[in-house]
Chain A
Amino acid sequence: AQKITQTQPGMFVQEKEAVTLDCTYDTSDPSYGLFWYKQPSSGEMIFLIYQGSYDQQNATEGRYSLNFQKARKSANLVISASQLGDSAMYFCAMREGNRDDKIIFGKGTRLHILP
């Protein structure tokens, strides 16, 4: 069963608009971490934001925020005031528990920002 589901294979958004990228996850472990990574066309993987399962507040990093809805097992990435440079592939990922460090990735969403 897929543990990380990203239902939007591709999205087109007008520059300066806000963007929400969907991510749902599946785990029975009460302790877990959620991540978002950006992969531009150059190929590198760039860490954007992290949310721990016990964190009381939604994580924010500059224009990025994570809309964490624990009961719905949802961890959507919100990008405010999108820019052309935001065009990239975005991956949601999860680490289960605290015993080991491995994280598993969703299939990704390709975001296109239109001028």
Chain B
Amino acid sequence: DAGVIQSPRHEVTEMGQEVTLRCKPISGHNSLFWYRQTMMRGLELLIYFNNNVPIDDSGMPEDRFSAKMPNASFSTLKIQPSEPRDSAVYFCASSFRGTGKGYTFGSGTRLTVV
């Protein structure tokens, strides 16, 4: 089991640039979650998918953020245009819906927008 795989691990970009974060969930998991972690706001749920369908995107901060899950093994979180206040660690997590147990998190992407 390779776990949840996120890429890149670190990303430094200039304000105004487009940023794409990637996530490969654990095979067989049918729920996928994107979280953002900052010192000020802690861990915030941005969006989650079930069977590749977005279920709740109420945590997406604004229209600059978008997320897709074109198939069961891949998801992206895109920020366009990026701003310095988007600097954070972005986590992807997956689970098998119905077990009700804990998620498995990826290692996170540390994004710095300068």
Q: Which residues of A contact B (CB under 8 A)?
A: 33, 35, 37, 43-47, 50, 52, 91, 95, 98, 100-108
Residues of B within 8 A of A95 (CB): 100
Residues of B within 8 A of A101 (CB): 31, 33, 48, 50, 95, 97, 100
Q: Are B105 and A45 in contact (CB under 8 A)?
A: yes
Given contacts A105-B42, A107-B42, A108-B42, contact A47 B102 (CB under 8 A): yes
Within 73-114 of B, Cβ neighbours of A (below 8 Å) are at: 89, 91, 93, 95, 97, 100-105, 107-108, 110
Judged by DSSP, the binding face of B is: strand
Q: Within 8 Å of chain A (Cβ to Cβ): is B12? A: no
Q: Are A100 and B102 in contact (CB under 8 A)?
A: no
Distance to closest chain B CB from A65 (angstroms): 16
A68 to B48 alpha-carbon distance, docked (Å): 28
Report the contact-size class of chain B (Cβ under 8 Å from the partner): 20 to 34
Interface core residue of B31, B45, B89, B105 (most chain A CB under 10 Å): B105
Q: Are A47 and B108 in contact (CB under 8 A)?
A: no
Q: Are B56 and A43 in contact (CB under 8 A)?
A: no
Q: Are B89 and A50 in contact (CB under 8 A)?
A: no
Q: Are B45 and A45 in contact (CB under 8 A)?
A: no
List 9 interface pairs A-B (beta carbons < 8 Å), by A numbering. Answer: A33-B101, A45-B105, A45-B108, A46-B105, A47-B101, A47-B102, A52-B100, A101-B50, A104-B45
Residues of A within 8 A of B55 (CB): 100, 102
A98 to B99 alpha-carbon distance, docked (Å): 10
A101 to B89 alpha-carbon distance, docked (Å): 22
Residues of A within 8 A of B100 (CB): 33, 50, 52, 95, 98, 101
A98 to B100 alpha-carbon distance, docked (Å): 8
A43-B110, A100-B50 given; name 6 further pairs at CB < 8 Å. Answer: A33-B100, A50-B101, A50-B102, A106-B42, A107-B42, A108-B42
A102 to B55 alpha-carbon distance, docked (Å): 10
A50 to B99 alpha-carbon distance, docked (Å): 11
A82 to B18 alpha-carbon distance, docked (Å): 44
